[in-house]
Structure 1
Amino acid sequence: MQESSATFPEPDMKEKLLKPARDIRSILRWGYPKFATIRFVAEHSQLSAEERNILTRVIMPPEKVVSRIRKKIACDGIRNRDLHLDGYNVLLSVDSLLKNEPLWFCDDGYIRDTRYYFSKTSQAEDIEEALDSVLEFLSEASPKSITFLLDSQISRSGELASFIRRKLEEYGIRGEARTSKTVDFDLKTEGGDPKKNLVVATSDGIVIDSVLQVLDIPACLMEKTGIEPIRLY
């Protein structure tokens, strides 16, 4: 990966979202529900569907922030650890990074893109460069083993799993790639078991809430290359 400057959204979008973001956070501190609050502020501020989606992904209720940040481990913290990857979640976020798409620093400390607003299927066809970037990072981080989990509902996931297995061999990394109809459930079950003591790589808040330790691979790659995410504060 080449070094790059900060990643920016559409012109003036960040400035447009700063005040709504502050308003939403202020209301959430009083215990109001997140989605109703975002809807209320977004309607008052006349925000587009895309802008609402950004606020939904970036802003978190206070009670989520502390617990999720505590689960986040350092980029060099997976040495000799078993790692499970939320395949499409990680690869599509890294793909966004490589394509200089907007990446946001969220209230809970994780990096997220906003392309999930659109179809995963249309994004998942050309992510070989993203896979290479992830595997280069993992080969240096030296986990004990890695497991890619891919949503079987997405077209050609089986082919991608086979391709990942071949790439793992090329990089000399011990691991596997498989498809599942219940990726989130599998990650929560495996990552939430203290006896297994494994790390989960994801930015999916629902998964993060149910596992013990989380690695934010896009954040690690951004830190390594000096790229700054967009911050709404």
Structure 2
Amino acid sequence: MDITTLKTAAHDFRYLLNRNYPRRAALTLVGNRYQFTVAERDLLQRGVFARKDSERKNKKIPISALYQAPLAIDGHNVLITLESALKGLPLILADDGFIRDIARAARGYAPGAFTMEALNLICDTLRRHRPLDIIFLLDSPVSRSGELAAKARRFLSEYVLKGSVQAVPVPEKILSGFPGAVATSDSAIIEDVAKVFDLAGHIIRYRLGSKNIIRLR
């Protein structure tokens, strides 16, 4: 994966998006031009945005704003990103300021060797900043979500964090209408909420290090 070529392709993709080219068509055009693999196209898809979309970064809040405020966590989104970081897989620092994985793991995800470490990092981080109440949401259609919910509940209890863990069919319905901050890097959810905290990104930056983060600017 050549970073110089990726940055050139990102520039071209960004140029087309800023001129209102359809996203899928622009990605196909740029990907074909540079003969990119699926993984390289995923980097562009998850990391490059039009100028108007990059303004999502204005919704980001600092971790200090979590104190005594309600917080909803997009569970699988945060866990998959953190577990990718723990595995040493590539991550992308996107144009909108959020750190994202490129693992394509959502459909095939199941709790594994790194899940407990990721949950520990999440709860230890939140313990230091004390949200008022936490709603930790998981996608119930994803494999072993009930088992994962039980583990997450134990972690909340052990860290004396007030909140609940729910496995629901469509977490986005709850997250999009949540009145407080939402911890996610899902661009569709970010569009629908007023305040976003990049929980996985914060932990990666300040607890795990940024050596696997790819920057396309």
Report TM bin, short chain. Answer: over 0.9
Question: Which residue of structure 2 aligns with residue 232 of structure 1?
Answer: 216
TM-score normalised per structure 2: 0.93
Contact 1:102 1:230 in 2 (8 A): yes
Question: Displacement, 1:123?
Answer: 4.7
Which consecutive segments of 4 or more residues in structure 1 shift more than 3 A?
A: 122-126
Is 1:54 the counterpart of 2:43? The answer is: yes
Question: Which residue of structure 2 aligns with residue 114 of structure 1?
Answer: 102
Contact 2:110 2:144 in 1 (8 A): no
Is 1:125 the counterpart of 2:89? The answer is: no
Question: Which residue of structure 1 aligns with residue 193 of structure 2?
Answer: 211
Q: Equivalent of 2:140, from 139, 152, 157?
A: 152
Is 1:29 the counterpart of 2:13? The answer is: no
Question: Which residue of structure 2 aligns with residue 44 of structure 1?
Answer: 33
Tell me the secondary structure at the aligned position of residue 63 of structure 2. Answer: coil
Structure 2: distance between partners of 1:202 and 1:224: 17
Instruction: Structure 1: state its 5+ residue gaps.
Output: 1-11, 191-195
Task: State the Cα deviation string for residues 71-125 of structure 1 (Å, max 9, x = none).
Answer: 1001222000110000000011111122221111001110001012x45434533
Is 1:201 the counterpart of 2:183? The answer is: yes
Tell me how many residue pairs correspond in the alignment: 214
Question: Displacement, 1:155?
Answer: 1.5
Question: Which residue of structure 2 aligns with residue 96 of structure 1?
Answer: 84
Aligned-partner residue type, residue 183 of structure 2: A
Task: State the Cα deviation string for residues 154-196 of structure 1 (Å, max 9, x = none).
Answer: 1111111111111111111111101110111211022xxxxx3
Tell me the secondary structure at the aligned position of residue 73 of structure 1. Answer: coil
Is 1:174 the counterpart of 2:162? The answer is: yes
Contact 1:88 1:124 in 2 (8 A): no
Task: State the Cα deviation string for residues 169-227 of structure 1 (Å, max 9, x = none).
Answer: 1111111101110111211022xxxxx3x110000000000011000012211332372
Question: Which residue of structure 2 aligns with residue 193 of structure 1?
Answer: none
Contact 2:76 2:106 in 1 (8 A): no
Tell me the secondary structure at the aligned position of residue 125 of structure 1. Answer: coil
Question: Displacement, 1:14?
Answer: 2.0
Task: State the Cα deviation string for residues 35-87 of structure 1 (Å, max 9, x = none).
Answer: 21111011111111111111100011221111x11110012220001100000
Tell me the secondary structure at the aligned position of residue 66 of structure 2. Answer: coil
The alpha-carbon distance between structure 1 residues 223 and 76, as it changes in their structure 2 partners (threshold 3 A), is: farther
The 10-residue stretch of structure 1 (198-207 or 74-83) with the greater mean CA deviation from structure 2: 74-83
Contact 1:139 1:171 in 2 (8 A): yes
